[in-house]
């Protein structure tokens, strides 16, 4: 009986490890942020310290600080559109 419990514990542990490794392998790295300016206010990074970085729907986003992340969170579609338009202009 003790051997059976031990074997079941090993099987459950190995299953958990396998699922964990599989889910991590499926995670994609976010798209890098293509601009050197804040997405919310447009200021160039560097003069005010390190930017606040977060990921939104697989896209890395950089803003000046957490308060601007709050602004982003109020209207993310607006800022994602702005990012796409600015990126398109840079590619021309």
> Over its length of 92 residues, how does the chain's per-residue pLDDT go in tens digits?
677 787 777 787 877 777 766 655 556 899 999 999 999 999 998 877 889 999 999 999 999 999 999 999 999 999 999 999 998 888 87
| 5-19 tens-digit pLDDT | 877 777 878 777 777
Q: How many CA atoms lie within 13 A of 41 on its CB side?
A: 15
What's the domain count of the chain?
Answer: 1
Q: Which domain holds residue 41?
A: 2-91
Contact 62, 33 (CB under 8 A): yes
Evaluated on CA atoms 6, 12, 16, 22, the torsion sign reads positive
pTM to 2 decimal places: 0.68
Using CA atoms, how far apart are residues 78 and 44, in angstroms rounded to an integer? 20
Q: Which two tokens stand for residue 35?
A: 């601009």
């Amino acid at each position: 009986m003790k051997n059976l419990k031990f074997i079941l514990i090993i099987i459950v542990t190995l299953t958990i490890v396998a699922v964990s490794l599989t889910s991590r392998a499926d995670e994609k790295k976010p798209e890098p942020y293509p601009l050197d300016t804040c997405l919310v206010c447009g200021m160039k990074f560097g003069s005010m310290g390190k930017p606040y970085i977060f990921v939104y729907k697989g896209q890395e986003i950089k803003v000046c600080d957490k308060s601007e992340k709050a602004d982003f969170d109020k209207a993310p579609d607006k800022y994602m559109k702005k990012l796409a338009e600015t990126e398109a202009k840079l590619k021309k």
